[in-house]
Amino acid sequence: MTDLLGSLSGAPGPTGPDAPQCSRRGCRAAARWRLRWNNPRIHTPERRKEWLACGDHRDWLQSYLTERGLWRETLPLDGTVPDDAVPDGGDARA
């Protein structure tokens, strides 16, 4: 018999003991935002680095990246990632 439950250990989770923290130095607040950035001088164009930010530091980190021309996008950490999904029906009336 194979113990399938054993494979659950170590699975990443948003509310686990290792919940993501803000990337701001010295801040231990729970992260609520993902700031995605790319440094064209050292990264390939499609590469994305990611910082995590709490509500207080999102603007600070985004400004930091924007000033350096690195910022690409900010997304909520709660999983509500915007996508191109069409609502039920897909009735595209102009």
Q: Measured from the CB of residue 20, what is the shortest distance to Zn ion in angstroms?
A: 11
Instruction: Select from 33, 34, 35, 54 the one that contacts Zn ion (CB under 5 A).
Output: 54
User: Which of 15, 63, 41 lies closest to 51, judged by CA?
Assistant: 63
Q: Measured from the CB of residue 21, what is the shortest distance to Zn ion in angstroms?
A: 8
Q: Where are the alpha helices (DSSP H) in 1-94?
A: 58-67
Nearby residues of 42 by Cβ (< 8 Å), 6 or more positions away: none
**CB closer to Zn ion, 14 vs 40:** 14
Q: Measured from the CB of residue 52, what is the shortest distance to Zn ion in angstroms?
A: 9
